[in-house]
Amino acid sequence: MLEGLGDRFQRESKYVRGETLVGGMSWENLPEPYKFYNNVQIVTLPEPKKLSEMSLDEALRKRESIREYSSEPIQLDQLSYILWAANGIRNREANQEFRTAPSAGALYPIETYLVVSNVSDLYPGIYHYSVRKHELETLKKGNFTKEIVRAGMGQEMLRMAAVTFIWTAIFERSKWKYRQRAYRYIYLDAGHIAQNLALAATSLGLGSCQIGALYDDEVNLIIGVDGIEESVLYMSTVGQLAD
Ligand SMILES: Cc1cc2nc3c(=O)[nH]c(=O)nc-3n(C[C@H](O)[C@H](O)[C@H](O)COP(=O)(O)O)c2cc1C
């Protein structure tokens, strides 16, 4: 079979004994692992408190991709908990903060955006999650359900979801150290985060599904990222279980 781009990437980003793929990074240029928006309306989130007694064992047994949701809203404290569980800060040390999901080199290339459609006490719109402050930055107010369904290839679950999480990467954060191999790690980082979300949603009695089938440029346009320095990788829907 003809070698394609993916095959070449896999081959050329291999670590081979005696060859160096990483290194040479300058510590003065260590990328900042947080993105902040200035001059936007901030939404304070409730403390991400434990809201469920479900064991990890039960969450693992119950987790499944759920693509139908009821029209009942999810609560702001549930959204707050899921945001934290997916990729929030679990521990602060002297000069480093560590998150609920692992990240290669603790470089944290993944950013979180929300398309909010049906969350109690939260205006529908597009938001960015400030990991460091555990708050939401309002990017656009309004109902963007139609746009996200279209960008997600018409998948109906996007119409029913109370909230859609959009995971992007700021590639340079990871490429600074790992160069082209960084792409492997960036995709893996996003996977860990989405699994945290799925288990957290399950533990709260909510449904969720991961979405890889999306028109990248269209999703990027909705959240206002350039698709080069930063681009969407993945999405997750969350909503109340349908009866
Ligand atoms: C990387 C990835 C991309 C996915 N993309 C979609 C998608 O675009 N649409 C969809 O309905 N399900 C999607 N899924 C969900 C899978 O179809 C689902 O995980 C699989 O069928 C196994 O079922 P389970 O999650 O219920 O165990 C995706 C899952 C993964 C891990």
pLDDT in tens, 200-227: 999 999 999 999 999 999 999 999 999 9
d(CA 72, CA 70): 5
What pTM, to 2 d.p., does this model score?
0.97
Q: Average pLDDT, stretch 42-63? A: 98
CA of 38 to the centre of ligand 1 (A): 35
Tens of pLDDT along 13-40? Answer: 999 998 876 767 888 888 999 999 999 9
Closest CA to 154 of 162, 142, 145, 166: 145
On whether residue 151 sits in a domain, the answer given is yes
Which atom in ligand 1 lies closest to the alpha carbon of residue 157? 11
On whether residue 14 sits in a domain, the answer given is no
On whether residue 189 sits in a domain, the answer given is yes
Residue 218 has a pLDDT of 98
On whether residue 36 sits in a domain, the answer given is no
Count of domains observed in the chain: 1
The CATH number assigned to the domain holding 148 equals 3.40.109.10
Q: How far apart are the two ends of the chain, measured CA to CA in Å?
A: 48
Residue 240 has a pLDDT of 98
Which atom in ligand 1 lies closest to the alpha carbon of residue 194? 31
On whether residue 57 sits in a domain, the answer given is no
Tens of pLDDT along 135-171? Answer: 999 999 999 999 999 999 999 999 999 999 999 999 9
Quick check: helix, strand or coil at residue 203?
A: helix
Residue in the block written with tokens 């080199």: 105
d(CA 103, CA 189): 6
The residues with which 136 forms a beta bridge, in sequence order, are 43, 129
On whether residue 31 sits in a domain, the answer given is no
Q: Average pLDDT, stretch 176-183? A: 94
Pocket test for ligand 1, best of 60, 61, 65 (most atoms within 8 A of CB): 65
Q: ∠ CA(215), CA(79), CA(193), 5° rounding?
A: 55
CA of 187 to the centre of ligand 1 (A): 15
Contact criterion met (CB below 8 Å) for 176 and 186: no
Which atom in ligand 1 lies closest to the alpha carbon of residue 198? 25
The residues with which 209 forms a beta bridge, in sequence order, are 237
Tens of pLDDT along 61-114? Answer: 999 999 999 999 999 999 999 999 999 999 998 888 999 999 999 999 999 999
CA of 26 to the centre of ligand 1 (A): 39
Ligand 1 lining (C-beta closer than 6 Å): 64-65, 67, 155, 209-213
Domain that holds residue 145: 69-91+98-243
Tokens encoding 86: 């997916």
On whether residue 37 sits in a domain, the answer given is no
Q: What is the CA radius of gyration of the chain?
A: 18
Q: Give how far Cα 205 sits from Cα of 72, 97, 229, Å.
A: 13, 29, 36
Q: ∠ CA(185), CA(189), CA(191), 5° rounding?
A: 120
Helix ranges restricted to H, 63-139:
76-87
Closest CA to 208 of 64, 16, 47: 64
Residue 21 has a pLDDT of 66
166 CB burial (10 A radius; 0-12, 13-18, 19+): buried
On whether residue 173 sits in a domain, the answer given is yes
